[in-house]
Amino acid sequence: MGRNYRELKELIASLNLHTVCESAACPNVGECWNRRTATFMILGNVCTRRCGFCAVQKGAPLEVDHDEPRRVAEAVAAMGLRYAVITSVNRDDRKDGGAEMFAAVIHAIRERVPGCKVEVLVPDFQGKHAAMETVMAARPDVLNHNTETVPRLYRQVRLGARYERSLEMLRYAKELSPETPVKSGLMLGLGETQDEVLQVMRDLHAHRVDILTLGQYLRPSPKHLPIIRYVPPAEFDELRRRGQEIGFSHVEAGPLVRSSYHADDSHAAACA
């Protein structure tokens, strides 16, 4: 609800763009859109993977729209953004996993809105280093890739993904650009134990991740994975404290936290 929400919805529709806010049924869409922030989802709204937690449509991928970077930049300009977040569906049908389109969007935003910071939330690119090189060469302000859950639950939660592969891609991004903050996030409530979560946190820090997000999994529909447990706010507070002890530059933790939630604030805190 609200004027900003309606204006953004109309703008995104008029430019034929997608947002993860809508496609993934994010619970924070009202708050974020009224703050005039949104996470743009490029390369269509149909994913080539069938992860059990995600509300994004699955199936045969759409044709790549090479005018999309220009329209995303136009939306960023119209919204007056100083911080833009770009993500995508998985595009395992493409040799580079969509990396060139991420780079094109970064360049288009920088050209249209000089000074606007750009965070990218990328897939694992099937572990292809060349794809990560393409993205990092465009110099995003933050490189984000979510591990999503603990290794034991990968076969249920992240079909087609591998825990070790995600860790390696995060490490490689930091190796390519040591000055760029690297970010990752997990959903809680899928059946993981706290010891497993803490081990993932230690693994992420060992692979040079700077920013960590922790949020509650919320079931998008009865067809998706069930919620095993609602994590109490006090437990999120404790995990935030433990993350700070482990050495992350910034930890965002809470029931409604998502990987791009208050992303501008997380970047500022990590770089302070």
Taking the C-alpha atoms of residue 43 and residue 245, their distance in angstroms, rounded to an integer, is 38
Report pLDDT digits (tens) over 174-214: 999 999 999 999 999 999 999 999 999 999 999 999 999 99
CB-based burial label for 193 (10 Å; 0-12, 13-18, 19+) = exposed
Mean per-residue pLDDT of the chain: 89
Q: Which residue has the higher pLDDT, 100 or 55?
A: 100
Sheet holding 117-121, edge to edge: 18-19, 39-42, 83-88, 117-121, 142-144, 182-188, 211-216, 250-253
The three-class DSSP label of residue 266 is helix
How does residue 25 score in pLDDT terms, banded at 50, 70 and 90? low
Angle between helices 68-79 and 99-112 (to 10 degrees): 40
Q: Which of 135-139, 169-173, 240-244, 268-272 has the lowest mean pLDDT?
A: 268-272
- pLDDT of 229: 97
Q: Assess whether pLDDT exceeds 80 at residue 240.
A: yes
Q: Cβ–Cβ contacts within 10 Å for residue 55, how many?
A: 18
Q: Which residue has the higher pLDDT, 211 or 45?
A: 211
Q: Judging by DSSP bridges, how do beta strands 39-42 and 57-58 pair with one another?
A: unpaired
Q: Assess whether pLDDT exceeds 90 at residue 132.
A: yes
Q: Find the mean pLDDT for residues 14-42.
A: 69
Taking the C-alpha atoms of residue 17 and residue 40, their distance in angstroms, rounded to an integer, is 7
- pLDDT of 1: 65
Tokens of 182: 């690297």
Domains and CATH numbers, the chain: 3-271 (3.20.20.70)
Which residues are within 8 A (CB) of 271 and not within 5 positions of it... i.e. 6 or more apart?
A: 181, 249
If you compute the radius of gyration of the chain from its CA atoms, what whole number of angstroms results?
A: 17
Q: Assess whether pLDDT exceeds 70 at residue 20.
A: no
Q: Assess whether pLDDT exceeds 90 at residue 97.
A: yes
Q: Find the mean pLDDT for residues 59-83.
A: 90
Contact 83, 119 (CB under 8 A): yes
Q: Cβ–Cβ contacts within 10 Å for residue 218, how many?
A: 18
- pLDDT of 19: 77
Full-model pTM = 0.90
DSSP string, 106-163: HHHHHHHSTT-EEEEE---GGG-HHHHHHHHHT--SEEE---BS-GGGHHHHSTT--H
Q: Find the mean pLDDT for residues 19-36.
A: 60
